[in-house]
A and B are shown apart, each in its own frame.
Chain A
Amino acid sequence: LAKTTQPISMDSYEGQEVNITCSHNNIATNDYITWYQQFPSQGPRFIIQGYKTKVTNEVASLFIPADRKSSTLSLPRVSLSDTAVYYCLVGDLLEYQLIWGAGTKLIIKP
């Protein structure tokens, strides 16, 4: 089972681009990388998912290098409402081997 390592916390300011990096040195061939966002007392919310290279949607980008041993979630022009915990998950979607780490607590300051 792939395990992930993320920074415990990060600070940034409104309007800045925030990059959160996740390490997953033991990622397997069938593993996908998924990021979720969670606000206090709410369930996690899907942000983005990818397998390799770069994926972009309306809220974020996900950069995955060729060796896939890490990935970076990029949040453009953050606002105060982006203050949340961000989880990086790595696992085989079909075999349901997802393991949730501690996440990264992102605090956005005005």
Chain B
Amino acid sequence: KAGVTQTPRYLIKTRGQQVTLSCSPISGHRSVSWYQQTPGQGLQFLFEYFSETQRNKGNFPGRFSGRQFSNSRSEMNVSTLELGDSALYLCASSFDEGADTQYFGPGTRLTVL
């Protein structure tokens, strides 16, 4: 069974731009969660989607948004990029909602210049 895939793997943007990251969960998994990982803050939870509905949200500004499609694939969007948004963005899927065993993708490395 294929693992969680994330595209693109690397991205370079400039301040003020917006970016969309994509995540394809493991086949059969219905929950997708997004995390931001930085050296200073560690892993921080952004949001979780289950059955196309946002179930939980972390403490991030409204510039960070996401959605989930009927095939469980998910996208995350960051608008008006700031330098501090440079990070590794990780997507994790699980069979059910909540924080049961999560399977992480390799991440998207976003650099904001």
- Verify B90–A43 contact, CB threshold 8 A: yes
- What residues of chain B lie closer than 8 Å to A34, measured between beta carbons? 99, 101
* A109 CB, nearest partner CB in chain B, Å: 24
- What residues of chain A lie closer than 8 Å to B43, measured between beta carbons? 44, 87, 100
Contact A41 B107, CB 8 Å, known A96-B48, A96-B55, A98-B45? yes
- Verify B106–A43 contact, CB threshold 8 A: yes
Interface mask (A34-59 → B, CB under 8 Å = 1, otherwise 0): 10000001111110010000000000
Interface of chain A, helix or strand or loop or mixed? loop
- What residues of chain A lie closer than 8 Å to B104, measured between beta carbons? 42-45
- Verify B42–A93 contact, CB threshold 8 A: no
Contact A101 B42, CB 8 Å, known A91-B99, A93-B99, A96-B55? yes
Chain A interface category by residue count = 20 to 34
Interface mask (B87-106 → A, CB under 8 Å = 1, otherwise 0): 01011100001111111111
A102 beta carbon closer than 8 Å to chain B:
yes
- What residues of chain A lie closer than 8 Å to B106, measured between beta carbons? 41-43
- Verify A46–B42 contact, CB threshold 8 A: no
A97 and B44 CA atoms in complex are apart in Å by 12
- What residues of chain B lie closer than 8 Å to A95, measured between beta carbons? 98
* B15 CB, nearest partner CB in chain A, Å: 24
Chain B interface category by residue count = 20 to 34
A21 and B89 CA atoms in complex are apart in Å by 28
A34 and B56 CA atoms in complex are apart in Å by 19
In the complex, which of the residues A42, A92, A102 contacts B107, with contact meaning CB atoms closer than 8 Å? Answer: A42
B4 beta carbon closer than 8 Å to chain A:
yes
A66 beta carbon closer than 8 Å to chain B:
no
Cβ-closest chain B residue relative to A102: B42
Would you mind naming 28 contact pairs between A and B with Cβ atoms under 8 Å apart?
A34-B99, A34-B101, A41-B107, A41-B109, A43-B4, A43-B92, A43-B107, A44-B43, A44-B90, A44-B92, A46-B101, A46-B102, A46-B103, A49-B101, A89-B99, A92-B99, A93-B99, A93-B100, A94-B98, A96-B55, A96-B56, A96-B97, A98-B45, A100-B35, A100-B42, A100-B44, A100-B45, A101-B42
